[in-house]
């Protein structure tokens, strides 16, 4: 049997170091698609929830390319228990179609069955707060793989956002977040899910979330609440470019909004800034626009891949020229809620780009600061699908999980 190429994931597997470790290792191997790849998590003492979502995206890409992947589990028991509680085995099975056991490296199989009772899980035992412990035990925040074909988009979105409307999660959100708790379901989850499900060809959507206390090394904030969404559909950049190539109108009226200015920073893979510019929210990308500009434009009010969708004909007749919150307002609403209301940030991974948007500094004329990094060379395969990660800061006086 062919020996697997190995990627060693870092001890603190935040999503960016995880992404970098995989990328750098594949570069060293000289191929983006080794026939057998071992994702070695043995050193991981902490895995960020969005890193789990990222690993699933990598796995999905390899499955789609007919490649084998093996997983070496963390030596650190609480990290393994965290993966159990977040239903990583079930998510891996859902994405790969294989039993988790079959994907796990032989030397990690000794960990199966190590918790004879639920109480053996060291991760959940560590919780102090009853409400959070209950939600974690109920797998409220766990990885959830959704197959859009099985149900209508409306149904799936309504179902997912309704989960966030229950009394307990509302109390938890109200306690830990500085903003209207119900906006998490009705605006952040609703808009992110709608966005994911509307990407062409999406056959799987993965969601997960987590409260994270501040790290030992960084006590400048109280921690954050993260919610991630990934879909395996066409890149949102490509979707908009397709509309432009087809000569479609991509901007709807947004008469209520005065144009704003945003700071757009474009950097290469090493983080070196290639250009910094102030961009108006009235920007309409064209076929000649750079791909990173197209990505940023997708977050501007009224930009949509298809202004004249079927459903528009009847309803838009009421509003001939002033579609105050019509097509192309989903992502702007997401940004407004996450950044302006909750003072958080929103990150996008798609194609070869990573974009992080947050409030610009107080002294800047710009409203948002969007930093876009080119993650790969054009000859390297792009990231599969689209990943959106929303991070909301916890209240200063609170600590998370």
Partner 1 sequence: MKRFRALQFRLGAASPNEIKPQCIAFYRWLVQRVTLEDVEISPDNPIDYVPLSYEDIGQNNQCTRVHAACTAAFAEGRSSVDVFVVDVEGPASLARSHISIQIAHAVSLAIAEEDDRTDKRDMQFILIQHELPPETESSRIILAQHLESGRVAIFSHAGRSTLGKQSPRRYNLEEFRLKLTIAQGSPEALLSRKMIRRVGRFAMRGRKGAIECSRFFYDGRYCEAEIASLLEDEIVRAGLPDDCRICYWCPDSPWLTAPAEAVALRLGLRATDLYRIESPSAFGADDYVLLLVDCMVTGRTFAGLLDRLLDTGLDSSRVYGVTVLAASPTDFQSHTRRMEHRGAIYEVSYFMAIENGTECDWCEQCPGYTNRQEEYLRLTADEHWEMAIAAGVKREEDVPDYRLGMPVVIDYPQVVDKNAPWLVSKMGVLLAEEGVEIPGSNLFVCPLDEHGSSVLAECLSLLLNLDVVGIPRETVDTFGSDNEPLREAEWRRIGEKRPIWYVRLGGSVGRVGLLDEFNASGRTLLGLRRVVERFGKDVSCMLVLNDLNPEWSEHQDVNVLSLYGWQSY
CA 211 – CA 278 distance, rounded (Å): 34
Please identify, among the stretches 29-37, 59-67, 289-297, 325-333, the one whose residues bind partner 1 according to the rule CB under 8 A: 325-333
Interface residue with partner 1, options 164, 225, 296, 368 (CB under 8 A): 164
* List of residues 6+ apart from 349 with CB closer than 8 A: 54, 375, 383, 386, 387, 389
- The answer to the question of residue 322 lying near partner 1 (CB under 8 A) is yes
Q: How far is the CB of 397 from partner 1 (least distance, A)?
A: 12
Which CB atom, from 220 or from 318, has the smaller least distance to partner 1? Answer: 318
CA distances from 303 to 124, 299, 395 (A): 43, 7, 33
Total binding residues toward partner 1, as defined by CB under 8 A: 61
With binding defined as CB under 8 A, does residue 282 bind partner 1? no
Smallest gap from residue 327 Cβ to partner 1 (A):
5
Subset of residues 26 to 55 that bind partner 1, contact rule: CB under 8 A: none
DSSP 214-271: PPSS--SS-EEEEEEEEE-S--HHHHHHHHHHTT---B---TT----EEEEEEE-TTS
For position 311 contacting partner 1 by CB under 8 A, the verdict is yes
**Which of 7, 9, 11 is CA-nearest to residue 215?**
11
Q: Which one-letter DSSP state was computed for residue 187?
A: I
Applying CB under 8 A, the span of 76-84, 154-162, 272-280, 285-293 interacting with partner 1 comes to 154-162
Contact in structure between 143 and 86 (CB atoms under 8 Å): yes
Q: What are phi and psi of 340, to 5 degrees?
A: -80, -40
- Exactly one of 12, 180, 242, 267 binds partner 1 (CB under 8 A); which one? 180
Interatomic CA distance for residues 377 and 352, integer angstroms? 8
The answer to whether residues 190 and 227 touch, using CB atoms and an 8 Å cutoff, is no
The reply on whether position 233 binds partner 1 by CB under 8 A is no
Give the integer Cα–Cα distance in Å for 224 and 210. Answer: 8
Q: Applying CB under 8 A, does 336 fall inside the site for partner 1?
A: yes
Binding segment for partner 1 among 90-98, 174-182, 224-232, 388-396 (CB under 8 A)? 174-182
The answer to whether 401 and 212 have CB atoms below 8 angstroms apart is yes
249 scored as a contact of partner 1 (CB under 8 A): no
Exactly one of 6, 122, 186, 289 binds partner 1 (CB under 8 A); that residue is 186
Q: Which residues pair with 355 in a beta bridge?
A: 348, 372
Q: Is 327 in the site for partner 1 (CB under 8 A)?
A: yes
The one segment of 13-21, 28-36, 153-161, 218-226 that binds partner 1 by CB under 8 A? 153-161
Hey, what are 206's tokens?
């993965």
The answer to the question of residue 190 lying near partner 1 (CB under 8 A) is yes
CB 263 to partner 1: min, Å: 18
Q: Does 130 bind partner 1 (CB under 8 A)?
A: yes
Asked if 63 is part of the footprint of partner 1 (rule: CB under 8 A), the reply reads: no
Span of 1-9, 261-269, 281-289, 320-328 interacting with partner 1 by CB under 8 A: 320-328
Contact stretch for partner 1 (CB under 8 A) within 102-110, 181-189, 208-216, 238-246: 181-189
Is 185 a binding residue for partner 1 by CB under 8 A? The answer is yes
Number of H helices, E strands in the chain: 15, 14
Q: Is 126 in the site for partner 1 (CB under 8 A)?
A: no
Alpha-helical (H) ranges within 67-176 are 77-85, 88-96, 100-103, 122-125, 130-137, 153-163, 167-176
Q: Which residue has the tokens 């432009």?
A: 244
Does the protein bind partner 1 through residue 348 (CB under 8 A)? Answer: no
**Dihedral Cα 15, 20, 25, 30, nearest 10 deg:** 130
By CB under 8 A, name the one of 27, 109, 139, 155 that touches partner 1. 155
| Residue ranges in contact with partner 1 by CB under 8 A | 129-131, 134, 151-155, 157-159, 161-168, 170-172, 174-175, 179-183, 185-187, 189-191, 194, 255-256, 309, 311-312, 315-316, 318-319, 322-330, 332-333, 336-337, 340-341
């Amino acid at each position: 049997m062919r020996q697997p190429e190995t990627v060693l994931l870092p001890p603190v597997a935040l999503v960016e170091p995880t992404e970098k470790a995989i990328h750098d290792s594949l570069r060293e191997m000289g191929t983006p698609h080794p026939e057998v790849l071992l994702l070695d998590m043995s050193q991981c003492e902490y895995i960020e929830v969005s890193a789990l979502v990222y690993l699933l995206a990598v796995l999905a890409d390899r499955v789609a390319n007919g490649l084998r992947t093996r997983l070496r589990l963390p030596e650190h028991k609480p990290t393994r228990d965290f993966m159990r509680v977040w239903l990583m085995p079930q998510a891996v099975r859902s994405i790969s179609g294989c039993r988790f056991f079959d994907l796990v490296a032989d030397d990690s199989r000794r960990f199966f069955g190590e918790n004879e009772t639920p109480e053996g899980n060291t991760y959940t035992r560590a919780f102090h707060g009853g409400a959070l412990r209950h939600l974690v035990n109920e797998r409220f925040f766990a990885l959830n793989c959704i197959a859009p074909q099985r149900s209508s988009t409306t149904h799936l979105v309504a179902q997912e956002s309704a989960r966030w409307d229950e009394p307990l999660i509302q109390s938890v959100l109200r306690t830990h977040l500085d903003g209207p708790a119900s906006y998490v379901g009705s605006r952040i989850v609703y808009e992110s899910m709608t966005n994911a499900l509307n990407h062409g060809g999406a056959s799987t959507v993965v969601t997960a979330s987590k409260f994270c206390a501040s790290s030992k090394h960084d006590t400048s904030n109280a921690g954050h609440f993260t919610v991630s969404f990934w879909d395996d559909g066409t890149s949102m950049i490509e979707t908009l470019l397709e509309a432009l190539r087809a000569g479609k109108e991509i901007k709807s009226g947004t008469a209520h909004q005065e144009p704003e200015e945003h700071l757009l920073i474009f950097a290469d893979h090493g983080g070196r800034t290639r250009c910094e510019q102030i961009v108006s929210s009235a920007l309409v990308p064209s076929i000649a626009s750079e791909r990173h500009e197209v990505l940023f434009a997708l977050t501007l009010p009224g930009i949509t891949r298809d202004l004249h969708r079927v459903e528009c004909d009847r309803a838009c007749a009421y509003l001939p020229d002033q579609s105050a919150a019509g097509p192309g307002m989903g992502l702007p609403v997401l940004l407004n809620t996450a950044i302006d209301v909750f003072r958080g940030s929103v990150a996008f991974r798609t194609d070869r780009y990573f974009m992080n948007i947050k409030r610009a500094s107080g002294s800047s004329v710009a409203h948002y600061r969007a930093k876009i990094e080119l993650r790969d060379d054009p000859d390297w395969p792009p990231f599969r699908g689209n990943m959106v990660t929303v991070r909301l800061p916890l209240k200063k006086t609170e600590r998370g999980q």
